[in-house]
Amino acid sequence: MLIDLRDRTALVTGAGRSVGRGIAEVLASAGAFVYVNDLHAERAEEVVAAIESKGGSAKTLAFDVTDSGAVARGFAAVESDDSAIYGSMNLIRNCLPSMIERRFGRIIQISSGAGSTGLSIGVSAYGAAKAAAESLIRHVAVENGKHGITANALALGLMANVGGTVNEGVLRLLKGVPVGRLGEPEEVGLAAAWLASDGGGFVTGQVIHLNGGSTFGR
């Protein structure tokens, strides 16, 4: 692994499976201590066990990111270990004060191509939410760059998720993906690791599309 995240600490939300798990495992393999968050503690514990079996360092931190009180308590637990955080929405509000104090931070929001491209598959509300999150990232980046903090979003295309089920709708959309396959969670993890590293320190306020060159919806 060329990316060195030793002496860094990451909180990865929704890391009990799929893309979140891929991100947590890659960050840990690069040397970061990873807090694995998921609504379901058993999922997080499984990921922690997998990370530790490969020589990485991780800890379970289960809470509901939509519960502001739970998020605050989660951050209190992480702060006792002097951590730097990766998260979204409620998490950004809680992580910024300590990042500003340390004059270092990396915020990585997982978004979707639906936030910037209209689709005819019934995801308008989802797309609107992702567009709002991307706008938040841009403002956070501009407001906090002077503090050594970067904020970026990774907008995902069609991904291979839990169960590997590929329905007719996905197959139809896959025809518009030039690389001809679904994205893998580990690939998202590698992109996140780069943004979290010193090498990604000049990148901020960006929405980076990981979609295999997808043209669906256009």
Q: How many residues does the chain have?
A: 218
Instruction: Determine the Cα–Cα distance for residues 208 and 153; give it in Å rounded to an integer.
Output: 6
pLDDT per position as a tens digit, 191-201: 999 999 999 99
Instruction: Determine the Cα–Cα distance for residues 92 and 140; give it in Å rounded to an integer.
Output: 9
CA angle 112, 140, 35 (to 5 degrees): 70
pLDDT per position as a tens digit, 1-23: 578 999 899 999 889 989 999 99
Instruction: Determine the Cα–Cα distance for residues 70 and 90; give it in Å rounded to an integer.
Output: 10
pLDDT per position as a tens digit, 132-148: 999 999 999 999 999 99
Residues serving a catalytic function are 126
Q: Give phi and psi for 216, each to the nearest 5.
A: -65, 145
Task: Give the three-state DSSP class for 137.
Answer: helix
Query: Model confidence at 89, in pLDDT bands (50, 70, 90)?
Result: low
Query: Model confidence at 86, in pLDDT bands (50, 70, 90)?
Result: very low
pLDDT at 82: 46
Q: 16 with 40: CB under 8 angstroms?
A: yes
Alpha carbon separation from 156 to 116, 146, 172, 206, 211 (Å, rounded): 11, 28, 17, 14, 6
Contact residues for 69 (Cβ-Cβ < 8 A; gap 6+): none
Q: What is the DSSP letter of 120?
A: S
Instruction: Determine the Cα–Cα distance for residues 202 and 205; give it in Å rounded to an integer.
Output: 10
Query: Model confidence at 204, in pLDDT bands (50, 70, 90)?
Result: very high
Task: Give the three-state DSSP class for 34.
Answer: strand
* pLDDT for residue 118 is more than 70: yes
Contact residues for 168 (Cβ-Cβ < 8 A; gap 6+): none
pLDDT at 216: 58
pLDDT per position as a tens digit, 147-192: 999 999 999 988 887 555 667 777 777 888 899 899 999 999 999 9
pLDDT at 66: 80
> For 26-47, what is the mean pLDDT?
94
pLDDT per position as a tens digit, 39-85: 999 999 999 999 999 999 999 998 888 888 888 888 777 776 543 37
- The number of beta carbons lying within 10 Å of the beta carbon of residue 213 is 11
Instruction: Determine the Cα–Cα distance for residues 137 and 131; give it in Å rounded to an integer.
Output: 10
pLDDT at 218: 44
pLDDT per position as a tens digit, 121-133: 788 888 888 999 9
CA angle 69, 72, 74 (to 5 degrees): 110
Buried (b) or exposed (e) across 85-109, using 16+ Cβ within 10 A?
A: bbbbbbbbebbbebbeeeeebbbbb
Show the DSSP H helices in the chain as ranges.
18-29, 41-53, 68-79, 90-102, 124-144, 168-174, 185-196
pLDDT at 84: 35
Domains, the chain, ordered by start: 9-210 (3.40.50.720)
